[in-house]
Amino acid sequence: MLLMLCAAGATAFYFRSAIPWQALIDRESQLRSGYRERPLLIAGAAFLVYVLMTGLSIPGSTVLSLTYGWLFGFWTGLGVVNFASALGATMACALSRTLFREQVTLRWGARLAPIESALHREGSWYLLTLRLLPTVPFFLVNLAMGLTQYPLRRFYWISQLGMLPMGAIYVYAGSQTVDLRTIVQQGPRAILSPQLLLALGLLAVLPLAVRWVTNKIARRSDRSVRVSVSVSKQ
């Protein structure tokens, strides 16, 4: 992601005379002023777009999270992204369970079977781990959960809790992105702020931290099971 941002900044800086940046800067200013004038309308429309994209399993949620952080700021962007992503995921799960169950089973059944079996063994903790540790694409998790009888209400709030840390990092990264005029004037150095580097560092560290915590909890649970078994044998 950092390389992409730097490449975009370098393109804006070195080709600023060949690209009509002023028109894009004006559009950016219009978008920001439109949000200031009608914050509820713009935020509501952004919320619906995110729900539909997530609910229909359309790629682009990461870009939307960054964009919402850039446009709305951290707290408003985080509220929109977190609630919309959880609602959209629940919508995708419900569609997989009802309208598209047969199609999902035929296309993804082999890949979804391990998720379903692990869910039966570990329950809600497994779903929370998947949300915190995105080793499996979120849309596959939504589809897999649709093939189970897992309660949708519980699926919603666990998804909202589990997707909060990663969503917060993406929104924060977007909120630290400077405006287009500054990027055109200063190039890549305008993008490389300490706050943005911190957000990218958290993106790299979070999966490792979650994996470490889950492994530690798993070892403790296995140890407690062995102790209980040995006590019962005595």
> Per-residue pLDDT tens for 148-195?
888 999 999 999 999 999 999 999 988 988 776 766 566 556 566 777
User: What pLDDT is stored for residue 107 in this prediction?
Assistant: 80
Contact 30, 216 (CB under 8 A): no
Among 27-31, 87-91, 139-143, 210-214, name the one with the lowest average pLDDT: 210-214
Contact 60, 25 (CB under 8 A): no
204 burial (CB, 10 Å; 0-12 / 13-18 / 19+) is exposed
- What is the value of pTM for the model shown? 0.81
Of 82, 65, 70, the residue nearest 170 (C-alpha): 65
